[in-house]
Chain A
Amino acid sequence: MITIKGLSKIFKTNQQEVKAVDDVSINIEKGEIFGVIGYSGAGKSTFIRLINRLEEPSSGDVVINDTNITSLSVGKLRKERQKIGMIFQHFNLLWSRTVFENIAFPLEIAGIPKAERRTKVLELIELVGLKGRENSYPSQLSGGQKQRVGIARSLANDPDVLLCDEATSALDPETTDDILDLLVSINKKLNLTIIMITHEMHVIQKICHRVAVMDQGRVVEQGDVLSVFVKPQSKTAKRFVQQLSPLEHQQDELKRFITNDPNREVVKLHFIGNDAKRALISDVLRKFDIEINILQGSISPTQEGAYGTLYVELSGNKALITETIDYIQSSGVEVEVIENVN
């Protein structure tokens, strides 16, 4: 539905050229929530602005529903922008307008008659859960409520795609989750394609179907969220994944359980997708005469299924331990035996 091909943006200063976005190619399907993650300065904000040409691309194409955005005249681009919603990190609401008037603004731009505007705005206020706040000014709202107004405003002209530029980065964790839930429900209800720029892996994990990892203007990795999570390839992706599994930082704590005793073994289990829901441990205990000591565990739900890690200590006969590990592996759960590094 959205095809981005060889998109680049070069900023020229007197001394040097900076490639903010460097030859980015991405395909996004209709109804998909596509995440773009990167550290600040990775070029992700510039990238999302190239899609609706708030920044003019230096080269490359952006095609949305067979319309090549990059070759549109200024007048046609304005018309097309009405079909591309956008929300911002700092909400960018007009303080001089009430909630109602802010949401009506894009409809005024599109030249919708007043009566029709009213119906549409009230519908949107209902959708984002702001009923009763129609006549409040942005200054009277909390951050989360402001972003709800931003979302309602971006949906006013029934867009084909919603661009989210760090839409949750100015919000506290709880409000972030509320806004993400709202975006997912809108995505499902309206089958709306969403492109999400963020530096928080948590956001990608919670709502995105696919993700592209950006570093220094380039896409260094892209794919399904789950596979990027479980097997990150690039260094940048690995660092982002680590953000989410605090266990990676706590391996030291495990050290005292790791011994040279052949009858004890510490293993790390990777549960992916539906495996995470199985009662593997009780299954193993029923089958094998072995003791299992659970050390640490975590589970992270993603849009494509859950993904979990569990550290356990197996104790029993050495042969039995090997057999158990084989059994676990054959059931589709990945096993990693942790050796003492020293």
Chain B
Amino acid sequence: MLTNWFENVNMEEMWIATYETLYMTVISVIGTLVLGIILGLLLFLTERGNLWQNHFLNMVTASAVNVFRAIPFIILILLLFPFTDFLMGTIRGPKAALPALIIGAAPFYARLVEIAFKEVDKGVIEAAKSMGAKTHTIIFKVLLPESMPALISGITVTAIALISYTAMAGVIGAGGLGDLAYMKGFQRRDFDVVFACTIFIVIIVFIFQFIGDTLSRKLDKR
């Protein structure tokens, strides 16, 4: 009966697209995690009264973050074409979507990281200082572990946004489930393909959400 409902769905194509979506999501989540934490740290530490208090650097970082957050993702991909071409040597396929995905999501995650760091008890940072801790000790042994549950739930939210970005990137030929839904589904009026892609994407989102929630809960000893 299922084959009747989904008569135009080619399972082999579905699996390839799913693989491409997962590839784009996983790599861009890792990239966003690294870039977002670096930006978030910079935002937090250069703020007034914090360890690297620096008004100029704070302003520059904050402006860059705000500008990139303001650009709609679909336009960001187009804007980044020359950069992507230079970096990846191609503007097609899952690999070519990565720079835009990371640059689009990292500023958003950076703000979540900044908020997570702000939630860390100032007294604990002061206690570490009173023990003679260096800045890198405070970052790696206080700030990061103490904000870990918030960093994890933040990256979960970002990862889910990234899954929807990958679908959008599909429209300009990045591959993945979004591409499949658009090219093979929408263009040919085979809506069963669109529907099947939707189900797959929803399942991927649920899996990411589940992993994120579990990890965040496990790490939270408060």
Question: In the complex, what residue of chain A is closest to B145 when comparing beta carbons?
Answer: A96
Expressed in whole angstroms, the Cα–Cα distance for A106 and B124 within the complex equals 12
Is B67 in contact with chain A by the CB < 8 A criterion?
no
A105 contact set on B, CB distance < 8 A: 128, 131, 141
Expressed in whole angstroms, the Cα–Cα distance for A64 and B120 within the complex equals 32
Chain A CB within 10 Å, residue with most, of B126, B129, B132: B132
Chain B CB within 10 Å, residue with most, of A90, A96, A139: A96
Question: In the complex, what residue of chain B is closest to A82 when comparing beta carbons?
Answer: B132
A54, A108, A109, A157: the one contacting B126 at CB < 8 Å is A54
CB-based contact B127/A86 at 8 Å = yes
A95 contact set on B, CB distance < 8 A: 146, 221-222
CB-based contact A81/B132 at 8 Å = yes
CB-based contact B126/A82 at 8 Å = no
B222 contact set on A, CB distance < 8 A: 95, 139
A54, A90, A137: the one contacting B221 at CB < 8 Å is A137
Give the interface size class of chain A: 20 to 34
A138 contact set on B, CB distance < 8 A: 221
Chain B interfacial residues counted at CB < 8 A: 21
A80 contact set on B, CB distance < 8 A: 132
CB-based contact A96/B130 at 8 Å = no
In the complex with contacts A92-B121, A97-B145, A86-B221 CB distance below 8 A: no
Closest beta carbon of chain A to B81's beta carbon, Å: 43
Query: Which residues in window 111-167 of B have CB below 8 A to A?
Result: 121, 123-124, 126-134, 137, 141-142, 145-146, 148
Chain A CB within 10 Å, residue with most, of B129, B141, B145, B221: B221
Expressed in whole angstroms, the Cα–Cα distance for A81 and B222 within the complex equals 28
Question: In the complex, what residue of chain B is closest to A90 when comparing beta carbons?
Answer: B123
Closest beta carbon of chain B to A104's beta carbon, Å: 11
Expressed in whole angstroms, the Cα–Cα distance for A71 and B125 within the complex equals 23
Question: In the complex, what residue of chain A is closest to B138 when comparing beta carbons?
Answer: A109
Question: In the complex, what residue of chain A is closest to B127 when comparing beta carbons?
Answer: A92
A78, A94, A96, A153: the one contacting B132 at CB < 8 Å is A78
Closest beta carbon of chain B to A83's beta carbon, Å: 9
Expressed in whole angstroms, the Cα–Cα distance for A82 and B130 within the complex equals 8
Closest beta carbon of chain B to A185's beta carbon, Å: 23
CB-based contact B137/A109 at 8 Å = yes
Is A110 in contact with chain B by the CB < 8 A criterion?
yes
Closest beta carbon of chain A to B214's beta carbon, Å: 17
CB-based contact B133/A109 at 8 Å = yes
Query: Which residues in window 137-165 of A have CB below 8 A to B?
Result: 137-139, 153, 157, 163
CB-based contact B137/A92 at 8 Å = no
Expressed in whole angstroms, the Cα–Cα distance for A90 and B126 within the complex equals 12
B221 contact set on A, CB distance < 8 A: 95-96, 137-139
A96 contact set on B, CB distance < 8 A: 145-146, 148, 219, 221
Chain A CB within 10 Å, residue with most, of B126, B127, B141: B127
Expressed in whole angstroms, the Cα–Cα distance for A108 and B145 within the complex equals 15
Query: Which residues in window 53-96 of A have CB below 8 A to B?
Result: 54, 77-82, 84, 86, 88, 90, 92-96
Question: In the complex, what residue of chain B is closest to A95 when comparing beta carbons?
Answer: B222
Beyond A80-B132, A92-B123, A163-B130, list 5 extra A-B contacts (CB 8 Å). Answer: A82-B132, A86-B131, A92-B127, A106-B132, A153-B131
A interface residue numbers (CB < 8 A to B): 52, 54, 77-82, 84, 86, 88, 90, 92-97, 105-106, 108-110, 137-139, 153, 157, 163
Pick 20 A–B contacts, CB within 8 A, sort by A.
Answer: A54-B126, A54-B129, A78-B134, A84-B130, A86-B130, A88-B127, A90-B123, A92-B124, A92-B126, A92-B127, A94-B146, A96-B145, A96-B146, A96-B148, A105-B131, A105-B141, A108-B137, A109-B134, A157-B131, A163-B130
B interface residue numbers (CB < 8 A to A): 121, 123-124, 126-134, 137, 141-142, 145-146, 148, 219, 221-222
